[in-house]
Amino acid sequence: MPIFDFLSGQFIDVIHWTDDTRDTMVWRFEREGHEIKYGAKLTVREGQAAVFVHEGQLADVFTPGLYMLETNNMPVMTSLQHWDHGFRSPFKSEIYFIATTRFTNLKWGTKSPIMLRDPEFGPTRIRAFGTYTVRVAEPARFLSEIVGTDGEFTMDEISYQIRNIIVQAFSRIIAGSGIPVLDMAANTRDLGKLVAGEITGIVSEYGLEIPEFYIENISLPTTVEAALDKRTSMGIAGDLSRFTQYSTAEAMTAAAKNPSGGGGIGAGLGMGMGMAMAQQMADQGPWGARPAQEQGQAAPPPPPVEHVWHIAEGGQTHGPYSKARLGRMVTEGGLTRDTLVWTAGQDGWKRAEDVAELAQLFTVMPPPPPPPPDA
């Protein structure tokens, strides 16, 4: 083999990078034991940039295209090396390929709740999460500020830092927005634009940009969400009576779904609750709600309890008798003014004439005739 062919084999004359990892941002073209030949071909594909680093200094940056590495294509390198137009020797430089495509579906979220002052709920806490997209806008700055001499730099190595920037910007904007928590869902698009603008100004110092930023959800603590759910349920019920019916129906459904609740006991309880609710709805009218004028009226008092009476005659008692029955006994002669009577709550036996409630029974009968005059 001629010596010239052997030396030609030691030089790299085709430089390119293909990547199928989906998360590699920077890859260094390895040249250990090899030199780059003058006039070698450099292929930079769409979505890539190539940065030459010569003796620790950033040199030329190549955008997508096919290049012949000559002095006219490497102005910075030529200036650093003081090459003349007759340069033909191999040279050694580090070449970094940088992916300029978008890295999508990246997650962000608040690890701890964000404190804010809500105009309706007062001091409260919220959590939020979403997705974002990042891309390298300035390859040379990104290489010098973030990558350094890392031969293979992935998205995972910077995603944590970007998430911290996002959460900090989101917390500051959301706390100062003054938007009520209940209205935040309707304003996520505008909030997302504000946060994206805030973080773009920060990550641009790293040579990055955030083309897309999305807020997927803003949530309250579980205790507040539970209170809101109850408030919503009451709003659907309309008033306390309907809410009671709603709660009863929910309890009946839960009891029916619980096979370990005692079988017949659970069924009986559910039936009783159902009957009570049905009776309540029937009392309120065919549409389940009483007219407004009836709702403001107090319920009528219960009817008075009618007394029943016992009678003592000849050392024995009999009864009880209602007042109407005693009235017939007066007419029939079975009850006189001197008959001893007793009812619940009365202090001992009394003459019928001495009980105010029974004394009126004797007014329909004339009093006994006076004794005849002495002859």
> 């959460």: which residue's tokens?
167
Cβ within 8 Å of residue 305, ≥6 positions away: none
Domain boundaries, the chain: 3-99, 103-220, 309-362
More confident residue, 155 or 78: 155
More confident residue, 290 or 189: 189
Please give the share of the chain, as a percent, with pLDDT higher than 90.
14
Distances (CA, A) of 337 to 7, 163, 331, 341, 361: 148, 100, 12, 10, 9
CA nearest neighbour of 141 among 208, 202, 75: 208
- 311, two tokens: 């009678």
Edge-first strand listing for the sheet containing 65-68 = 11-15, 35-44, 65-68
Whether domain 103-220 has CATH 3.30.479.30: yes
**18-54 residue pLDDT tens:** 888 888 999 988 765 556 777 788 899 999 999 888 7
**105-156 residue pLDDT tens:** 999 998 888 888 888 778 888 889 999 999 999 998 998 888 887 778 889 8
- Are 339 and 329 in contact by the 8 Å Cβ rule? The answer is no
Residue 133: its pLDDT value, please?
93
Distances (CA, A) of 137 to 147, 192, 303, 321: 14, 21, 88, 104
Residue 177: its pLDDT value, please?
81
- 283, two tokens: 């009392």
Residue 3: its pLDDT value, please?
38
Q: Is the pLDDT of residue 215 over 60?
A: yes
Determine the average pLDDT of the residues in 287-316. Answer: 66
Rounded to the nearest angstrom, the gap between the alpha carbon of residue 296 and the centroid of all alpha carbons in its chain is 39
Residue 226: its pLDDT value, please?
81
Q: What angle do CA 281, 285, 291 make, to 5 degrees?
A: 115
What dihedral do alpha carbons 218, 125, 183, 129 form, nearest 10°? -10
More confident residue, 301 or 272: 301
- 93, two tokens: 């430089």
pLDDT-wise least confident of 47-51, 92-96, 180-184, 292-296: 292-296
- φ and ψ at 280, to 5 degrees? -65, -40
- 198, two tokens: 């805030």
Q: Is the pLDDT of residue 275 over 50?
A: yes
**148-197 residue pLDDT tens:** 877 788 898 888 889 999 999 998 888 888 888 888 888 888 888 888 88
Q: How many CA atoms lie within 13 A of 289 on its CB side?
A: 9
3-state secondary structure of 50: strand
- Are 140 and 207 in contact by the 8 Å Cβ rule? The answer is yes
Q: Is the pLDDT of residue 266 over 80?
A: no
Determine the average pLDDT of the residues in 256-284. Answer: 56
- Are 358 and 326 in contact by the 8 Å Cβ rule? The answer is yes
Q: Record the pTM.
A: 0.55
The mean of the pLDDT values for the chain is: 76
- Are 125 and 164 in contact by the 8 Å Cβ rule? The answer is no
Determine the average pLDDT of the residues in 239-251. Answer: 67
**198-211 residue pLDDT tens:** 898 889 999 999 99
3-state secondary structure of 327: helix
